[in-house]
Chain A
Amino acid sequence: MTWEPVIGVEVHVELSTRSKMFCGCAVDFTSPPNTNVCPVCLGLPGALPVPNRRAIEHLMSIGLALGSEVSSRSVFHRKNYFYADLPKNYQISQYDVPVCRGGHLDITVDGETRRIGIERAHMEEDTGKSTHVGLGGRIHAASATLLDFNRSGVPLVEIVSRPDIHSASDARVFAQELRGLVLELGVSDARLEEGSLRFDANVSIRPAGSTGLGTKVEIKNMNSFRSLERAVDHEVSRQIGVAESGGELVQETRHWDEEAGVTHPMRTKEGSSDYRYFTEPDLVPMTFDDAWISSVAATLPELPAQRRSRYQEVGLDGRQAATLAESPPRIRQVFDEATGLGADPTAAFNWLSGEVVSHLRRAGLESEELHLGGAELFELVTIVEEGLVSATAAKEVLEGVLTGEGGPREVASSRDLIQVSDATRIGEVVDAVLTANPDAVAGYRDRGEEKVVGFLVGQVMRQTQGKADPRVVNELLREKLASQPGGTPATG
């Protein structure tokens, strides 16, 4: 039997606000432990939460970018569970009335675009950080836990996909696409190594072609795109193995062991998932009216998907549009300016994705340091079209522009790269070359050797140090060969 994996991904995104979700402590992961803490984020007796408006607006931005519906009314809930790094032993989170519902994110794999549904996006607070020390430092062998509450109360958005993903690699691409989106929105640093982006996955399998849902297993502790893909991959194989050997899958939570490359069942006590959600009585409801929603919508930047379709509209193909849509802002800016001035989109794209990117790479520069404006790219494309410089010479022109020698026309002339297209001057060189190569001329004239033309063009180009316009050279050569004494080519 063939099996189809059914995967849903939950992504936790730490927002990059200045202060925490419910108190004024700084969001700063470089501080020494327990220095960005106060009664609220330490859960001291008597302290009360007050929500950060900017964090809520960041969540609205994410929702709007995903095409979610922003609820007209939303409330916070308490999610009750005991854990040493959860100071109040409840997390302020959202339950049945999240801020954002629905929406989707498109992912493109091998040129094929798939739409992944979004279930919801809600607001919650992060926990503190536990460091397990002692024998080996591994969680099962720890002898003590060191607790730092600097991260406690940092605003966290949880985005839950629908179970629309059917391969481990798509799960990875979904997560990567989501990372791109929050970076684009400027709402999170999305640094995986700092844990500001974290993933859980819900995995089940079903016989290919069926539509039911199998027993769902939740896997946790993936901290990179690679480990998300590996963990899902492993879990799918494990489930298929169990199913095919006649075993029964159990609904459970499993922990991804990065080193061993396997998932383990989490050691949890019975009842630990009874979260006893109830409305957070320390907070009042949030309401979102059209004015607020549209004021947040107005601050949204253009998103990758929107850009992709815009680039296709101006004439790039799907692959080019996708590449450019994911390029750094500076590159896109140069493209937009150049094409705005009238540069051919494909030519502009080719320059940027080819020569410009490899120049940056060679020089070890960030795209922000690029020494090329939209007007200069437009000029470069134009002088190639006009035949002022050859395609080969144009690369040299760009090189000069990028190293600060001046604008394209300026560089073309100072580096003496301007193409000669004056027929009289080229004609003189052609005559000289024909005179110097009588055998070649005879080969063409008597035996119709077509390759001779290429050879002679090469000779002319060499004589002119490549500055002659090849089209003009070709035309003149054929013309003069045809009128050489001794008649017409045999092939006539």
Chain B
Amino acid sequence: MTPDGPTIVEAGRRLREGKTTAVALLESVLDVAQLTEAIVHAYLTIDREGAFASAAFADEELANGRDRGPLHGVPVALKDNMCTRGVETTAASQILGGYLPPYDATVVTRLRQAGAVIVGKTNLDEFAMGSSTENSAYGPTFNPWDVSRVPGGSSGGSAAAVAIGSALGALGSDTGGSIRQPAALTGLVGLKPTYGTVSRYGLIAFASSLDQIGPLTRTVEDAAVLLEAVWGHDPLDATSYDGAYPDPRAEMGRGVDGIRVGVVRELSGEGYEPEVETATANMVDRLAGEGAEVVEVSLPSFEIALSAYYLIAPAEASANLARFDGIRFGLRIPGPTTEALMSATRAEGFGPEVTRRILLGTYGLSAGYYEAFYGQAQKVRAAIRADLARVYTDVDVLVSPTSPTVAFEAGARVADPLAMYLSDICTIPSNLAGDPAVSVPIALDGRGLPIGFQVMAPALGETTLFRVAAEVERLAGFTARPVIDLVAS
């Protein structure tokens, strides 16, 4: 099958024209899920009951003239690391099997206020640690474009659901590329907003200084719709930005004439697939053809960004995941003492990648190693920010591939953690800087697999970011959809 569902914007138009209803939209995405879940496994939990209740309520409100805006009545999915009150939330971990949070994440509250219909909770790499969605305790998600391949990660379930049409849009979280890389590998738009603009309250933390929630959608405009629904100051998150927010739509459609585009020299070369490099270069040429001033820029610190990331993120994770101890919630493996219970529960409850990163983070912070590892990584982070500040005096945006490769074969990198970590090489700098970045699909490679193009902007540069992304989208004219062989199941 080939999905033929509408985009968020189209669905909104049809709803208001009376051509469909929220319930009908929900039924159609559930039908897709019914057909594809056994093959793709995008969802961990589908909340049929809750979703039908909100869809019916949305129809009632719309019928009564209460219009909550462009998401009203639209079925969307949530990565399963965002807490939903009374709906199982596992972060794809055994340690949270069956966990029912007693509260909603702020993004969930905001989606409800916007009238969105939450279909369910999507699969991810356990605790968002991974780049392939193979590290889920509940089984991997597969790429709808080629089900022998990974959808990327860690927001692979959200990506697969939107790509296949079992949700019209989804929220993911991006710590080192976990929205943008799966978006690239599944032919979607994936946005990591400026750090601090989307509340993290209720997002099960991986690395607090890097985590940011953002949308995965089919179009740039859909991404703006979802972003506008969820971002904004939240007093429950002390890192939440309380100043003026940029307007993502203010310059969409104005083209790129006069926009200064920097091509990052360090994000190319060895390890990059030729077709990815060619597609990227073609898009850069076309942007130049539209009047963009293209320059090559160098950010030497990007060379060691990945190393810094794989010290900082695990360090924060080692503390963030300490609360999973078998005492107050979640899995418990009994033991004669508290320590024995905690150690047994954690060893049993965490999968290998999570265990590996906890060990890595614990080591990097431990006595005698802090300065050489974690402390030094923070210096690299400062250097990256300084490099970016320098470059952004000359250019408005930076561009690169989103991922050095297209979707890789399932299982190909599981045994080699370092090879897996290299999947994030293009996306990590924006997380370390806290800057916004977006992946836009631009082409299919020779095997019919999507290639993503990354646009990066300085903090709070979403207006320019969306302007350039919309132009990339227009120039690419990417309309392909995956084809799923349902018989293969």
The residues of A with any CB-CB pair to B shorter than 8 Å are 39, 42-51, 78, 80, 82-84, 87-90, 145, 147, 269, 274, 276-278, 281-284
Instruction: Check B239 against A282 for contact (C-beta < 8 Å).
Output: yes
Which of A48, A87, A284 gathers most chain B CB within 10 Å? A48
> B322, A46: Cβ atoms under 8 Å?
no
With both chains docked as a complex, state the minimum distance between the C-beta of A145 and any C-beta of chain B, in angstroms: 7
B419 interface hit (Cβ, 8 Å): no
B168-199 contacts to A, CB under 8 A, are none
A-B contact pairs, 19 of them (CB 8 A): A44-B102, A44-B323, A45-B99, A45-B323, A45-B324, A46-B105, A46-B204, A50-B236, A51-B238, A78-B319, A80-B322, A82-B338, A82-B342, A89-B322, A89-B323, A145-B338, A274-B366, A276-B362, A278-B316
B204–A45 touching, CB < 8 Å: yes
Structural contact, A45 and B83, CB atoms closer than 8 A: yes
Q: Does B315 contact A (CB under 8 A)?
A: yes
Beyond the given A45-B205, A48-B237, A282-B208, could you list 11 further A-B residue pairs with CB under 8 A, ordered by the A residue number? A43-B328, A44-B102, A44-B329, A45-B99, A45-B204, A46-B205, A48-B239, A84-B327, A276-B370, A278-B370, A281-B207
Which of A48, A51, A88, A282 interacts with B323 by CB under 8 Å?
A: A88
- Rounded to whole angstroms, the CA-CA distance of A51 and B324 in the bound complex is 23
A281 with B208: CB separation less than 8 A: yes
How distant is A130 from chain B, measured CB to nearest CB, in Å?
Answer: 9
A84 vs B339: C-alpha distance in the bound complex, in angstroms? Answer: 9
Chain B residues contacting A43 (CB-CB under 8 Å) are 323, 328
Contacts of B327 in A (CB 8 A): 84, 87, 147
User: Which of A82, A88, A274 counts the most chain B CB atoms within 10 A?
Assistant: A82
Q: Which chain A positions have C-beta within 8 A of B342?
A: 82
- Whether A39 pairs with B102 at a CB distance below 8 angstroms is yes
Q: Is the CB of B374 within 8 A of A278?
A: yes
Residues of B within 8 A of A281 (CB): 207-209, 239, 316
For residue B103, CB closer than 8 A to chain A, the reply is yes
Chain A residues with CB under 8 A of B238 = 48-51, 282-284
**B374 partner residues in chain A, CB cutoff 8 A:** 278
| Chain B residues within an 8 Å CB radius of A48 | 200-201, 236-239
A201 to chain B, nearest CB (A): 24
Residues 94-149 of B at the A interface (beta carbon under 8 Å) = 96, 99, 101-103, 105
Q: Given the complex, which residues of B lie within 8 Å of A46, measured CB to CB?
A: 82-83, 101, 105, 200-205
CB contacts (< 8 Å) of B339 on chain A: these are: 82, 269
B486 sits at the interface (CB 8 A)? no
Indicate the member of B208, B238, B342, B374 with the most A CB atoms within 10 Å. Answer: B238
Partner of A90, one of B83, B319, B338: B319
Bound-state Cα–Cα, A84 to B99, Å: 19
Question: B89 an interface residue at 8 Å Cβ cutoff?
Answer: yes
Interface residues of B in 193-231 (CB under 8 A from A): 200-205, 207-209
Say which size band chain B's interface belongs to.
35 or more
Contacts of A282 in B (CB 8 A): 205, 208, 238-239
In the complex, the 6 A-B pairs of residues with the closest C-beta atoms, listed nearest first = A89-B322, A276-B365, A281-B209, A281-B208, A46-B202, A45-B204
Minimum Cβ distance to chain B for residue A48 (Å): 5
The docked-state distance in angstroms from the alpha carbon of A282 to that of B209 is 7
**Restricting to B297-349, which residues have a CB under 8 Å from any CB of A?**
315-316, 318-319, 322-325, 327-329, 338-339, 342
B-chain residues with CB within 8 Å of residue A89 when the two chains form the complex: 319, 322-323, 325
Q: With the chains together, A269 CA to B342 CA distance in Å?
A: 15
A-B pairs with CB below 8 Å: how many?
A: 106
Which of chain A's residues has its CB closest to B326's CB?
Answer: A84
Contacts of A84 in B (CB 8 A): 325, 327, 338
A247 to B: closest C-beta gap in Å = 28
Who on chain B is nearest to A88 by CB? B323
Complex CA distance for A69 and B72, rounded to whole angstroms: 54
B102-A45 in contact (CB<8A)? no
Please state if B235 and A50 are interface contacts (CB–CB under 8 Å).
yes
Chain B residues with CB under 8 A of A88: 319, 322-323
1/0 contact trace for B70-100 toward A, CB 8 Å?
0000000000001100000101000010010
B89 touches A45 (CB 8 A): yes
In whole angstroms, how far apart are the Cα atoms of A80 and B364 in the complex? 13
Identify which of residues 40-95 in chain B touch chain A, using a CB-to-CB cut-off of 8 Å.
Answer: 82-83, 89, 91
Is B415 located at the chain interface by the 8 A CB criterion? no
CB distance from A150 to the nearest CB of B (A): 14
Please name all residues of chain A whose beta carbon is closer than 8 Å to the beta carbon of B487 when the two chains form the complex.
Answer: none
Complex CA gap A278/B370 in Å reads 9
A353 to chain B, nearest CB (A): 51
List B contacts of A147 (CB < 8 A). Answer: 327-328
Residue numbers in B under 8 Å from A277 (CB-CB)? 365
A45 surroundings in chain B (CB, below 8 A): 83, 89, 91, 96, 99, 101, 204-205, 323-324, 329
Question: Does B367 have its Cβ within 8 Å of any Cβ on chain A?
Answer: yes
Which residues of B are found within 8 Å of A269, using beta-carbon distances?
339
Inter-subunit contact B367/A274 (CB<8 Å): yes
Residue among B200, B208, B316, B322 facing the most chain A CB atoms (10 A cut-off): B322
| A272 → B minimal CB distance (Å) | 10
Give the residues in chain B near A47, CB-CB below 8 Å: 201-202
B132 to chain A, nearest CB (A): 23
Closest to A149 in B: B328
Q: Which residues of A have CB within 8 Å of B82?
A: 46
Complex formed: what's the CA distance from A89 to B339 in Å?
12
Q: Which residues of A contact B83 (CB under 8 A)?
A: 45-46
**Which residues of B are found within 8 Å of A39, using beta-carbon distances?**
101-103
Q: Which one of A49, A51, A84, A276 has the greatest number of beta carbons of chain B within 10 Å?
A: A276
- Which A residues lie within 8 Å of B96 (CB)? 45
Residues of A within 8 A of B204 (CB): 45-46
Q: Please report the C-alpha to C-alpha distance between residue A99 and residue B83 in the assembled complex, in whole angstroms.
A: 34
Q: Which residue of A lies closest to B209 (CB)?
A: A281
Chain A residues, CB < 8 A from B200: 46, 48
Partner of B319, one of A49, A80, A145: A80
B166 to chain A, nearest CB (A): 25
Question: Given the complex, which residues of B lie within 8 Å of A274, measured CB to CB?
Answer: 366-367
Nearest to A278 among chain B residues (CB) is B365
- Name which residue of chain A comes closest to B235, CB basis: A50
**Distance (whole angstroms) from the CB of B168 to the closest CB of chain A:** 25
CB distance from A377 to the nearest CB of B (A): 52
Contacts of B91 in A (CB 8 A): 45
Alpha-carbon distance between A51 and B239 when the two chains are bound, in angstroms: 11
Chain B residues near A78 (CB-CB < 8 A): 319
Q: CB-nearest residue of chain B relative to A43?
A: B323
Which residues of chain B come closer than 8 Å to A145, judged between CB atoms? Answer: 338
Considering residues B101, B327, B365, which has the most beta carbons from chain A within 10 angstroms of its beta carbon? Answer: B327
The interface bits of chain B over 358-399 (1 if a CB of A lies within 8 angstroms of the residue's CB, else 0) are: 000010011100100010000000000000000000000000
Give CA–CA (A317, B444) in the complex, Å.
93
Q: What chain B residues lie within 8 Å of A90 (beta carbons)?
A: 319, 322
Give min CB distance, A329 to chain B, whole Å: 38
Nearest chain A residue, comparing its CB with the CB of B375: A278
Q: Which residues of A contact B316 (CB under 8 A)?
A: 278, 281
